[in-house]
Structure 1
Amino acid sequence: MSEKIEENSLATEPIGKLVFKFALPAIISTLVGAIYNMVDQIFVGRGVGVIGNAATNVSFPLTTIFTAISLLIGVGTAANFNLRMGEKRERLAQKYIGNGVVLMVVMSIVFSAVSIMFITPLLKIFGATEEVMPYAKTYASIICIGFPFLVLNTASSNIIRADGSPKYAMVCVVVGAVINTILDPIFIFVFKWGMAGAAWATVIGQIASAAISIYYLKYKFKTFTITKEILKVHSKLVGRIFALGASISFNQVAMLIMQITLNNVLAHYGALSKYGPVIPLAVVGIIFKVNFIFLSVSVGVGQGCQPIFGYNYGARNYKRVEDTLKLTTKINLIVGTLALISFQLFPREIISFFGTGNKEYFEFGTRFFRIFMMFTITNGLMPLFGNFFASIGKPIKGIFVTLTRQFLFLVPLLIILPMIFGIEGIMFAGPIADFAALVVALALALDEIKKMRKLALEN
C-alpha cells in the first residue's frame, strides 16, 4: 500500500506513531540545516577570526528573508493541500500545489536579483560596521546567488512532506548539508578562499538539495502527477496560500526585524563599552546559531506534524488534533529544558568551538548566553503554536503568536532597556520577552482547544 496521505493513515494510526513518522524526518532536516549553518560559523571563526563571525552575523538577515519567502509559499501550499485532501476536494488540492510551484520559482528569482543589486545598503541596514563591511559583502554577494535554490528546496520540502514523503524531504536537506560541510574546510583552509569559500560551499550545497527536490516534484509526486494544467496561477488560491503561510513566514520577518535591531544596538552600545562593536556582533551570531540547534527540533516538530493537524482538522477529527498538539508540546518542553541546562552550565565551552578570543570576548559571550537565553525552555512553543494555527486554517492567530516574542515584545525592549542600563539592558530584553510571549501563546492555544472540544461535541 502506498504511503500516500489518506484516511487509513493520518486519520487512524496512533498519534504517537504518526508524530514519530512525520516529525522525526522533519526534525532531522531542520537540525541538519541548523548544524551546517553552525559549521559555517565554526570554520569561518577558525579560518578568518572574530571579524569573520561578525560578518556572517550581519549577513544572516538575508538568509532570514529568503527563508521567510520559502515558508510563506511552502507552508501555505502544504497547509491548503492537506486541508483540501481532508475535505475530499482532490482537484482543488492539485491546483494549490501547482500555484505553489510557480510562486516559489518566480519569487525566488525576483528577490534574489533585488538583493544582489542592493547588497551594500542592505548590509549597512543589517548592522555592518566599516570594519566588518568588506568581509560581509564578500560573503553575502555570493550567497545571494544560491537563494533561489534555497527557496526551491525549503518550500518543496514542505510540499513533499505533505505528499506523505517525510523521509525524502529529509534527504533533500541532508545531502546539501553534507556537501557544504565537506566543501567548507577545503575552500577555506586548502584553497585559502576565506569568506568566499564558506559562501560557495553553502551555494553548492543548496543547488544539490534543490535538484533533488525538483526531481521529486517532477517524477515521484504520489498523490497525482504535476502537469502544466495545474500550474495556471489563480489569484484567489495565491491569496489563500499567503494567508496560511503568513504565520510561519511572519515569524521569520519578525526575526529579521529583531536581528537588524539587535545588531545595530549591539554595535552602538558595544562601542560605548569595553567590548567594542565587533565582539558583541560576533558573539551574538554564534549564540543564535547554537540556539537554533535546539530550536530546530521544535520547528521540525511543528512542520512535521502539519499534515496531521491539517488533515484531521479538515476531516473534523478534533480529538486527534488536540492529542497531537499536547504530545508535541511535551516534546518541545523537554528539548527546551536541555537547551537551558546547556546554556547555563557550558557557555564558555560552546563559544570556544567557534575559535579563540580575548578575555572580553569570552566574558561577554558567557554573560549573554546565561542572561539572554535564561527563559529558552519555552522558546520552541511559539513556532509550534504558529504552525498549528496555520495548519488548521487560522492564519490570523498564527501570525499573532509568531509576532509576539520578536516584534511586539523583544524589539521595543531592545530599544528601551539599553537606554537605561546600557549593553546590560540588551541581555535582559531576551528573558522578559520570552515570558510575555509565552503567556500570550498559551492563552490562544488553550482557547483553541476549548473550541475544538465544543465542535467535537456538536458533530
Structure 2
Amino acid sequence: MVATKNPVSDENEQPAQPAREDKVTRMGTASIPRLIVEFAIPSILGMLVNGAYNLIDSIFLGQAMGEIGLATATVAMPVMTVFMAISMLVGNGGNALAALRMGEGNREEAERSLGNTVCLSIILAAVVAVVAHVPACIDGVLGISGATAEDWYYARSFIQIISLGFVFQCIGMGVNNFIRTAGAPNRALSTMIVGAVACTIFNFLFVMVLGWGVQGSALATLFGQAISCACVLWYFLFTKNVPMRLRLRHLPLHARTVGLILSLGLASFAVQAGMAVVNFVLNNLLNLYGSMNPIGAEGALASIGVVQRVAMFTVLPLIGVAIAIQPLLGFNYGAHLFERVKKTLLCGIIGATGIGVVLWGLVHLFPEQIVGFFGIEDDSLLGFTVFALKVQLAMLPFVGFQIVGSNYFQATGQPAKSIFLSLTRQILFLIPLFLVLPLVLPGWFPQFTSLDALYFATPLADFLAIFTTAVFILLEMGRLRKLERGEIQAKF
C-alpha cells in the first residue's frame, strides 16, 4: 500500500527503511483507540503549549502592568489570531494533503507538499512583516481592534515586533503537524514544549526582571517561536529514517500542490479568521457597552479578554484531538479503509467530549482562582469576570463534537463542507448574536445589561453550530456506507 522506494528520488537515495515505513503503515493496521491515544496526548499537550504563548504574555503583562497590560493583550489578540490563521492555512492544509498522499503510497508528493508548505510560509511571513510596518495598515488594524488612547502605543509595539518573527511561528507551528503525520507525535510535542519553556523564561527575564514591559513580552514570544522553528526544521533536514524529508527540489511552488494546500487549509484558516473577526467586533462592542457600565471600557476589555483567553485555552485540547486524528482519517480515507475512518471519527468525538466535560468541571469548581491568576483584584471586576466565564463556557462539554466533526471533512478531502461548518459558529451565528442580543436581552431580562449579553451570545452560537454539524455528520455516515458498498467512488 505504501511505496518502499521514492520513484523519482535522488540517485544516492537508499531504499526506504522498514522502520521508517512502519511508522506510517501502522495508521492503517494498528488498533485505532491505541493510535488515537498515542497521537492525541502529544497533540493536546502541543496545542496547550502553543496556546500558552498568548496566555503567558497575558499573565506576565497583567502581573506587571495591571489592567492596561491585559487590555493591550486583548487588543493585540485579534491580530495574533490572524497570524495563527495564516500559519494553519498552509500548515494544516499541507499536512492534510501529505497524509492523503502517504495513504495512497505516494511519498514523493507528500514531500512536495512539505517543501511547498515551507516555501509558502516564508513568502507569507515576509508579506506580514512588511504590512505590519506600513503606518496606514497598522493604525487601521488597531482602530478596528478596539484600541484606546491608553493602550494604542503598547499594542502597536507588540504587534510589530511579533510580525518580524512571524516566519518562526508559521514554520514552527504549521510544519510541526507534518512530524505527527510522519508517525512521531512525541517529537512534534517536544518541538513545541521547548519553545514555550523558552518563552516563559524570557518573559520572566524581560518583563519582570528587566522591566521591558510589552516590548519585552513580544521579544520573549519571538525567541520562543524561533527555537521551536529550529527544532522542526532539524527533524526534516537531519533526523535519520524519517518517512518524509525536506528537500531543496520540492521548495519551488507547484501550482496544483499549492492549490490543494490552500483549499484543504481554508477550513482551519476560516476557524481562526472567524475568531479574529469575532475579536475585532467584540473589542469594539466592549468599548461601547463597557463605557456605559461601572467597570468602564478598560475594565470590560481586561475582563472579557481574560474570559476569551481561558475559553481559548479550554478549546485547545479539543482542537488537539481533531488534529491528532487528522493523519489517521486522511491515511485510511486515502487507502479506502472506510470502516477505520468511521471508527476513528467516533473515537475522536468520544475523546473530545470527555475532555470537554472535565474542563467544564474545572472552570466551575475554581473560577475565582483562574481569574485571579491574571492579576484581577478589584472585587466588582472579579465577580463580573467569574460570572462571564461560567456563562460563556456553558456548552463546553459539546463543543468537541463540533470541532472534530468539522475537521473530519478537512482530513478527508472535503474542504467546502469543512469551511462551511467552521464558519457557522463564528460568522453565521456568533457575530449576529453579538449585534442583536445586547439590544433585546435587557428588555427581556432587566437584571442583565447590554454588556452581559456579549457573553450570553457564545453558548447560544455553540448550540446552533453543534446542531448544524450533527446534520452534516449524519449525512456523511450514509455516504461512507455507500463507499464501502462500492456504490460511489471517493474522489480527491
1:185 CA drift (Å): 1.5
Mapping of residues 289-308 of structure 1, within 5 Å: 289-308=309-328
Q: Choose the corresponding residue for 1:345, options 365, 372, 377.
A: 365
1:6 CA drift (Å): 6.0
Mapping of residues 406-417 of structure 1, within 5 Å: 406-417=426-437
Mapping of residues 129-140 of structure 1, within 5 Å: 129-140=148-159
1:138 CA drift (Å): 2.8
The question of 1:57 aligning with 2:74 is answered yes
1:10 CA drift (Å): 0.7
Q: Aligned letter for 2:89?
A: L
**Cα deviations by residue, 1:105-153 (Å, 9 ceiling, x for unpaired):** 1111212221232323211211111122122223222222221111111
Partners of 1:157 and 1:320 in 2: CA distance: 25
Q: Aligned letter for 2:103?
A: G
For the 8 Å contact 1:34–1:289, the answer to whether it is kept is no
Report the counterpart of residue 117 of structure 2 in structure 1: 100
Partners of 1:41 and 1:141 in 2: CA distance: 17
Mapping of residues 16-35 of structure 1, within 5 Å: 16-35=33-52
Aligned to 1:386, the other structure's residue is in SS state: helix
Q: Aligned letter for 1:13?
A: A
Report the counterpart of residue 186 of structure 1 in structure 2: 205
1:249 CA drift (Å): 1.1
Report the counterpart of residue 440 of structure 1 in structure 2: 468
Q: Aligned letter for 2:251?
A: L
Partners of 2:186 and 2:61 in 1: CA distance: 31
Q: Aligned letter for 1:164?
A: G
Aligned to 1:355, the other structure's residue is in SS state: coil
Report the counterpart of residue 355 of structure 1 in structure 2: 375
1:222 CA drift (Å): 1.5
For the 8 Å contact 1:336–1:380, the answer to whether it is kept is yes
For the 8 Å contact 2:107–2:244, the answer to whether it is kept is no
Report the counterpart of residue 300 of structure 2 in structure 1: 280
Unaligned runs of 5+ in 2: 1-17, 443-449, 488-492
Report the counterpart of residue 162 of structure 1 in structure 2: 181
1:42 CA drift (Å): 1.4
Q: Choose the corresponding residue for 2:422, options 402, 418, 430.
A: 402
Aligned identity (percent) is 34
For the 8 Å contact 2:97–2:264, the answer to whether it is kept is yes
Aligned to 1:232, the other structure's residue is in SS state: coil
**Cα deviations by residue, 1:231-254 (Å, 9 ceiling, x for unpaired):** 231222111111111111110011
For the 8 Å contact 1:306–1:388, the answer to whether it is kept is yes
Q: How many residues align?
A: 459
Report the counterpart of residue 237 of structure 1 in structure 2: 257
Report the counterpart of residue 327 of structure 1 in structure 2: 347
For the 8 Å contact 2:128–2:163, the answer to whether it is kept is no
Report the counterpart of residue 73 of structure 1 in structure 2: 90
Report the counterpart of residue 409 of structure 2 in structure 1: 389
Determine which structure has more spread, i.e. the larger CA radius of gyration. 2
Partners of 1:89 and 1:182 in 2: CA distance: 42
Q: CA RMSD in A?
A: 1.7
Judging changes above 3 Å, is the alpha-carbon distance between structure 1 residues 224 and 338 closer, same or farther for their aligned structure 2 residues?
closer
1:446 CA drift (Å): 2.0
1:289 CA drift (Å): 1.8
1:7 CA drift (Å): 6.2
Report the counterpart of residue 207 of structure 1 in structure 2: 226
Partners of 2:350 and 2:266 in 1: CA distance: 25
Aligned to 1:380, the other structure's residue is in SS state: helix
Report the counterpart of residue 457 of structure 2 in structure 1: 429
Partners of 2:40 and 2:21 in 1: CA distance: 16
Judging changes above 3 Å, is the alpha-carbon distance between structure 1 residues 141 and 90 closer, same or farther for their aligned structure 2 residues?
closer
Q: Aligned letter for 1:425?
A: A
For the 8 Å contact 2:24–2:243, the answer to whether it is kept is no
**Cα deviations by residue, 1:293-321 (Å, 9 ceiling, x for unpaired):** 22111111111111100000011111111
Unaligned runs of 5+ in 1: none
For the 8 Å contact 1:291–1:339, the answer to whether it is kept is no
The question of 1:85 aligning with 2:105 is answered no
Partners of 1:374 and 1:358 in 2: CA distance: 25
1:35 CA drift (Å): 3.0
Judging changes above 3 Å, is the alpha-carbon distance between structure 1 residues 318 and 86 closer, same or farther for their aligned structure 2 residues?
same
Partners of 1:166 and 1:194 in 2: CA distance: 35
Query: Which has the higher relative contact order, 1 or 2, with Cα contacts under 8 A spaced 6 or more apart?
Result: 1
Once the two structures are overlaid, the 10-residue window that deviates more, 307-316 or 164-173, is 164-173
Report the counterpart of residue 318 of structure 1 in structure 2: 338
**Cα deviations by residue, 1:205-250 (Å, 9 ceiling, x for unpaired):** 0111111112122223722443322223122211111111111111
Q: Aligned letter for 1:242?
A: L
For the 8 Å contact 2:20–2:243, the answer to whether it is kept is no
For the 8 Å contact 2:182–2:244, the answer to whether it is kept is no
Q: Choose the corresponding residue for 2:126, options 109, 131, 149.
A: 109
1:200 CA drift (Å): 1.2
Partners of 2:23 and 2:57 in 1: CA distance: 40
Aligned to 2:133, the other structure's residue is in SS state: helix
1:447 CA drift (Å): 1.5
Judging changes above 3 Å, is the alpha-carbon distance between structure 1 residues 5 and 36 closer, same or farther for their aligned structure 2 residues?
farther
Q: Choose the corresponding residue for 2:215, options 196, 200, 223.
A: 196
Report the counterpart of residue 32 of structure 2 in structure 1: 15
For the 8 Å contact 1:5–1:163, the answer to whether it is kept is no
Q: Aligned letter for 2:145?
A: F
TM-score by length of 2: 0.90
Judging changes above 3 Å, is the alpha-carbon distance between structure 1 residues 7 and 111 closer, same or farther for their aligned structure 2 residues?
closer
TM-score by length of 1: 0.96
Once the two structures are overlaid, the 10-residue window that deviates more, 206-215 or 367-376, is 367-376
